Amino acid sequence: MSTNQTSAPAAPLTAIQLPADAPIIAVPMCIKFIDGQNYHTVGDKYLRAVIEAAGGYPLSFPALGPVLPVEALLDHVDGVLFTGSPSNVAVSLYGGAPDRPDSPQDPGRDAITLPLVKAALARKMPVFCICRGFQELNVALGGTLNTHIHDVPGHADHRAPNDADYDAIYQARHNVSFTPGGQFARVLGKTKTMVNTVHWQGIDRLADGLVIEGQADDGVIEAISVKDHTGFAIGTQWHPEYKATENPDSMKLFKAFGDAAREFAQQRRATRRPAA
């Protein structure tokens, strides 16, 4: 069997010692077709960012859709990290015009992430939504996406360069300006930063329950937060998880997520029903 391996396998994490009661962060998976079979997958960089930058234990949820009891699963976690993915949210889920035939799809992921967003928010659980996850947050709450933002007059090209070198793909490429006094401005301690950009879809109509926190110079929405959420519920169109420990802004975002999840964990454990 071929392994598609083109570089050394990721080294196990050995240097980090988390306390046994560190918060548990759910990370929904994608379905990838590899060597003729479907695999449930999640990018290593997201799991490492949960451990190294948020200080939590990741727990992956397979992309099996409605068969999974979302509410029962959420009883065991303290936050959800919605990851990026090359696949796109199905346009049928937000009533968009048909996407191009080559648009990669992942209905198994759509079927778990959209209900999970709503269920986690209903519990005021901390959520951090990145790239595809950012788009899922908007769609789950009733917003729509633009399937090819580079075709919209006035918008820049937000796609990654065709480059085999991941440091080049995820290098900072454009500005984001944050709302003064907003959540991002508070957490980051500034109103402007440079971010990477690895997407070709973007928010078209913002869901009613969301607030714009940051935009690129061309107007593309890059940072959002959930209205009326008492804790941490944000999304970034960029990728703070990529080498998070080397980027002070990314560390601040993940630390704020981890802090909110730690607080949630304390309450969840304090009110947990004893085993029968």
Ligand X SMILES: N[C@@H](CCC(=O)NCCCC(=O)O)C(=O)O
Tell me how far apart the alpha carbons of residues 133 and 261 are, in angstroms, rounded to a whole number.
Answer: 18
Q: Which residue's CB atom is positioned nearest to ligand X?
A: 84
Tell me how far apart the alpha carbons of residues 65 and 131 are, in angstroms, rounded to a whole number.
Answer: 20
Quickly tell me which residue has 């290098």 as its tokens: 171
Q: Is 131 noted as a catalytic residue in this protein?
A: yes
Least Å from the CB of residue 13 to ligand X: 19
Tell me how far apart the alpha carbons of residues 216 and 75 are, in angstroms, rounded to a whole number.
Answer: 37
Tokens of 89: 């949210």
Least Å from the CB of residue 239 to ligand X: 6
Q: Could you say which of 136, 213, 222, 241 is catalytic?
A: 241
Give just the sign of the alpha carbon dihedral 158, 103, 151, 146: negative
With contacts defined by CB under 6 A, name the span among 11-19, 61-69, 85-93, 210-218 that binds ligand X.
85-93
Give just the sign of the alpha carbon dihedral 195, 196, 197, 198: negative
Helix (H, G, I), strand (E, B) or coil at 28: strand
Task: Work out whether 219 is an interface residue with ligand X (CB under 6 A).
Answer: no
Task: Work out whether 250 is an interface residue with ligand X (CB under 6 A).
Answer: no
Helix (H, G, I), strand (E, B) or coil at 261: helix
Task: Work out whether 189 is an interface residue with ligand X (CB under 6 A).
Answer: no
Nearer to ligand X, 87 or 193 (CB): 87
Residue of the chain from 48, 132, 252, 268 that contacts ligand X (CB under 6 A): 132
**Helix orientation angle between 132-140 and 107-122, rounded to the nearest 10 degrees:** 60
Least Å from the CB of residue 268 to ligand X: 28
Residue of the chain from 25, 85, 258, 260 that contacts ligand X (CB under 6 A): 85
With contacts defined by CB under 6 A, name the span among 32-40, 107-115, 119-127, 199-207 that binds ligand X.
199-207
Buried b (16+ CB within 10 A) or exposed e, 179-199: beebbbbebbeeeebebbbbb
Q: Is 148 noted as a catalytic residue in this protein?
A: no
Task: Work out whether 86 is an interface residue with ligand X (CB under 6 A).
Answer: yes
Least Å from the CB of residue 81 to ligand X: 12
- Give the number of residues in contact with ligand X, rule: CB under 6 A: 14
Catalytic residue numbers, as ranges: 131, 239, 241
Where does this chain bind ligand X (CB under 6 A)?
43, 83-88, 131-132, 198-201, 239
